[in-house]
Chains A and B, each alone.
Chain A
């Protein structure tokens, strides 16, 4: 009876988030990471590189990776690595499936940690990222928001609109990532938080299809 009650309480407080779908590995020293590799459990790798060289970001990376108690290899740990401008997907046999450059629009990405689980969806097809703008001339790098990248067939952002709030995840205004729901289709659990943090609405977004133009 007591065990059943504990399980019930646990179910009430922890959302049904999928376990990690990748293990993340950083190459290089904290503050000078040169490669971030996600070893995907469904096969192959996701590789991020061409990191933004802004000194404040490098310093933040060094501090975060050396001080955090997040489990090495987790998305939360890997989200401390500074933004990058190239993302590549390799198949299990090692061949390059695609590569995506975002520096052409003066943007950079970094992994966006979820509160529970991974930043990669359980089917390996969706990745939560932070989106940054940067100016190659004089270096200001500023966060723009968050997004979901399709990584299963071709790289691009996909739509992630909350089923209850109809707010689009990633607008950077009060959306707080919880994690990926178990099973298919790739469904992102997130909270919509009021400006003062007083109101929290739990929501989820199915990220199955490409965003409508």
Chain B
């Protein structure tokens, strides 16, 4: 039996309980069950899954029955697992069930300060929070696919070259909150640098340092995706998991959602000579959430899908003014639901993933979003 190597996530005061200090043999399962905390036990089982039932038995004998289920939860959600994908795969955290709202965008503790400071309106909070239920959680972290790393509610990535939207997001965070960048990322091994000349995702590079030794982007990727080394997964991924749970980095993620909402509503639909942005046609919270939803799922489709919806609307309502600025309140109250309906219909054939289910989650399912015209209130 070998000792634990997941030092980055192992509480210092319990390290010796599993590793066997000074070359001493590691403790027995009985000793572990009597002395180690649940997280340490979970780390142990990550490396020794065959000992699971015996350790659980020892926990019961040690009168720690309540820790058995806690251990299972910790193993499941707090430690990365190897996730097969295509022919290879990589480490990933298991997603919590929908009934568990932990670390969802909607439940983030970052919202009150953002709203109080005027960075986000309550209406934007409702729209983003509702729509984000269709996406990942703020602490989502995975490395199973062809990208080196994917993180957060908007599933931003760094690629094999170390660049990508995640690198840009972390760089922006380093500029806005250097102290938190230091504690959440640098102190845990992750650094980001502005390596390009522009300000796109490809202009920033994010890499990992293992025990103080800086790795290249390629080495970072190999380190994380080493199937035989769960301790690597812990060391590299746990800092990102914890960053995703930090209110300040959650605020950074919410800022990105708001930026996406702004840009989606500013899209000018393609089709029959539309000159006004989407926000001129749809002014309700439900409308804004649907547009944001498509933008996040299929960013290049919004202009076409919404343009076709307008084509459908004007074909059925030829007397409606082309310029929505000329609509009276009564006309808008009549037109907007029709445009919403047309837009939802066009989404169904827009090659989105699960368009009806995603829309249903936004407009039904106990949604608190308003469908009243002008109910969506963006920041000035």
Closest 10 A/B residue pairs (Cβ): A60-B357, A197-B299, A63-B356, A64-B356, A197-B300, A171-B146, A168-B146, A68-B348, A157-B86, A171-B145
B303 CB, nearest partner CB in chain A, Å: 8
A173 x B147 contact (CB < 8 A): yes
User: At the interface with chain A, which of B9-17, B55-63, B92-100?
Assistant: B92-100
Contacts A170-B145, A172-B145 given; 17 further ones with Cβ under 8 A? A56-B361, A63-B359, A64-B348, A64-B355, A68-B356, A113-B351, A135-B94, A140-B95, A140-B97, A142-B136, A144-B145, A157-B86, A171-B147, A173-B155, A191-B300, A194-B299, A197-B298
How many angstroms from the CA of A158 to the CA of B353 in the assembled complex? 21
Number of A positions contacting B (CB below 8 A): 51
Q: Is B71 an interface residue (CB 8 A)?
A: no
A142 x B95 contact (CB < 8 A): yes
Q: Is B18 an interface residue (CB 8 A)?
A: no
Q: Which chain B residue lies CB-closest to A191? A: B300
Q: Is B84 an interface residue (CB 8 A)?
A: yes
A69 x B147 contact (CB < 8 A): no
Q: Provide the residues of chain A in CB contact with B94, threshold 8 Å.
A: 135, 140
Report 24 cross-chain contacts, Cβ distance below 8 Å, ordered by A residue.
Answer: A56-B361, A57-B354, A60-B354, A60-B358, A63-B359, A68-B356, A69-B349, A76-B349, A140-B94, A144-B83, A147-B86, A156-B87, A170-B146, A173-B145, A173-B155, A174-B299, A176-B301, A176-B351, A193-B298, A193-B300, A194-B200, A197-B295, A197-B301, A213-B87
A64 x B144 contact (CB < 8 A): no
Q: Is B139 an interface residue (CB 8 A)?
A: no
A17 CB, nearest partner CB in chain B, Å: 13
A195 x B299 contact (CB < 8 A): yes
A196 x B299 contact (CB < 8 A): yes
How many angstroms from the CA of A157 to the CA of B84 in the assembled complex? 12
Residue among A60, A68, A113, A139 making CB contact with B360, cutoff 8 Å = A60
A101 CB, nearest partner CB in chain B, Å: 13
B26 CB, nearest partner CB in chain A, Å: 30
Interface flags, A136-173, vs B, CB<8A=1, else 0: 00111011110100000000110100000001101111
Residue among B86, B146, B300 making CB contact with A200, cutoff 8 Å = B300
How many angstroms from the CA of A133 to the CA of B245 in the assembled complex? 23
Interface flags, A113-147, vs B, CB<8A=1, else 0: 11100000000000000110101001110111101
Q: Is B165 an interface residue (CB 8 A)?
A: yes
A43 CB, nearest partner CB in chain B, Å: 27
How many angstroms from the CA of A60 to the CA of B353 in the assembled complex? 10
Q: Provide the residues of chain B in CB contact with A130, threshold 8 Å.
A: 353
A155 CB, nearest partner CB in chain B, Å: 13
